[in-house]
Amino acid sequence: MRVFNFSAGPAMLPKEVMERAKEEFCSYGATGCGVIELSHRGKEFTEIIERAIRNTRELLNLSDEYSVLFIQGGASLQFAMIPMNLLAKGGFAEYVDSGVWASTAIKEAGRFGELKVIGSSKSTNYDRIPEVRHFKPNQGSSYLHITSNNTIYGTQYHYFPEMPREVPLIADMSSDIMSRVIDVNDFGLIYAGMQKNLGPSGCALVIIRKDLVERANKDLPTMLRYSTYVDHNSLFNTPSTFAIYLYALVTDWMKKKGGISAIEEINDAKSEALYETIDNSDFYKNPVEPSSRSRMNVVFTLPNDELGDKFVKEAAKAGLTGLKGHRSVGGIRASIYNAMPLEGVEVLIDFMHDFEKSNG
């Protein structure tokens, strides 16, 4: 039985994508080979990676000022590559601490230079996005790094600080990339581990403004320099061909759905329905400050931990899996990325009503 998988990542992918990948896994077009057996220099894979990049440009309305890169090592390698490439020697960078992933990025960047943490919601258990709307960078800052959606706490930026061009805004968008319309021109670099909205784990999508590539220290190891990926179209070495192939399929699917604005409408409907259910109940509670609520990860608690455990177990039996909150915060987390259909959320809401009736 195919369930509705609410896991935070790796997360569910569109059914059409999975079915197409299943077919092409063993036999890709007329090649007589499976897709993962194709040479990364061959004509078929060249078409796949070019389509992946073209789809990204179309979906995000990217100008030629930006390069689209595929880099192995997930989002976590970007925590290091960003300061290695972009933190000026002897300079400093600015970071916002909005949760575990943001603070992991901060810890990693701290190995490479001085940092200023210019906003944090740690003292309120990361229940909100720190107020940085009117933030002005300190003189000499190399960049400002934010985490646009905080997967564990269910918080999300609903605005972005406006930055001068020389101090680029950098965003970890691992858990909300391509889920809503953004203007990439507001950013110098955005990156995302693919395993939530884009495809399989282990690979990151990186979109970088080309003038920043030139800033990097030329002594960096080849594989840790953005310029290597730009100069070789992400094909300096053998890339994760299967990840790029699946990403091409997922972005084909997004285009077929009508692009990011159409997907955003569905994401709004899904999250609004869930928050309404929680807000209309005394049984379920959402701990997030309302203006910081995420449209990707909806977290909630029940009156006690035993009921929470029971909820997760019974939901799984009803075909609703992956609902256990992150081990660091507990409770329930429904991750409702692009591939989760509205129907999945409706089934979850019905289950929540039934569970409350029997246990409330």
> Which residue, 75 or 115, has its beta carbon nearer to ligand PMP?
75
Q: Does 76 bind ligand PMP (CB under 6 A)?
A: yes
Can you say whether residue 295 is alpha, beta or left, with left for phi > 0 and alpha for psi between -120 and 50 degrees? Answer: alpha
Minimum distance of ligand PMP from residue 180's CB (angstroms) = 15
Quickly tell me which residue has 């090592």 as its tokens.
Answer: 73
**Contact set for ligand PMP, span 158-217 (CB under 6 A):** 172, 174-175, 193, 201
**Tokens standing for residue 344:** 């999945």
Annotation says 310 is catalytic: no
Nearer to ligand PMP, 151 or 179 (CB): 151
Q: Strand 189-193's sheet: what is its strand order?
A: 66-72, 203-209, 189-193, 169-172, 141-147, 92-97, 114-120
Minimum CB distance to ligand PMP smaller for 24 or for 108: 108
What single-letter amino acid sits at 277?
T
Measured distance CA(91)–CA(217) in Å, rounded: 13
Q: Does 6 bind ligand PMP (CB under 6 A)?
A: no
Nearest distance in Å: CB 82, ligand PMP: 12
Task: Count helices and strands (H / E) in the chain.
Answer: 10, 13
Which parts of 84-143 interact with ligand PMP (CB under 6 A)?
A: 101
User: Cα separation of 325 and 3, whole Å?
Assistant: 18
- Smallest gap from Cβ 308 to ligand PMP, in A, equals 21
Exactly one of 97, 176, 196, 324 is catalytic; name it: 196
Taking the least distance from each CB to ligand PMP, the nearer of 115 and 296 is 296
Candidate list 22, 43, 64, 101, residue with the active-site label = 101
Name the catalytic one among 172, 253, 270, 324.
172
Active site residue 172: yes
Kindly indicate which of the ranges 11-19, 71-79, 262-270, 333-341 contains the residues binding ligand PMP, using the contact rule CB under 6 A. Answer: 71-79
DSSP 101-117: HHHHHHHHHTTTSEEEE
Q: Tell the smallest beta-carbon distance from residue 93 to ligand PMP (Å).
A: 17
Q: What is the DSSP letter of 184?
A: G
Q: Which residue in the set 4, 5, 6, 9 belongs to the binding site for ligand PMP (CB under 6 A)?
A: 9
Token couple for 60: 């995000």
Which amino acid, 194? Answer: M
Assess 147 for contact with ligand PMP (CB under 6 A).
Answer: yes
Q: Are 151 and 9 in contact (CB under 8 A)?
A: yes
What distance in Å separates the CA atoms of residue 61 and residue 289, rounded to the nearest whole number?
A: 32
Q: Pattern of binders to ligand PMP over 297-316, x per CB under 6 A?
A: --------------------
Is 153 a residue that touches ligand PMP (CB under 6 A)?
no
Task: Clarify whether 15 is annotated catalytic.
Answer: no
Q: Is 167 helix (H, G, I), strand (E, B) or coil?
A: coil
Pairing of strands 149-150, 155-156: antiparallel
Q: Is 75 in the site for ligand PMP (CB under 6 A)?
A: yes
Kindly list the residues in this chain that would bind ligand PMP in the complex (CB under 6 A).
9, 74-76, 101, 147, 151, 172, 174-175, 193, 201
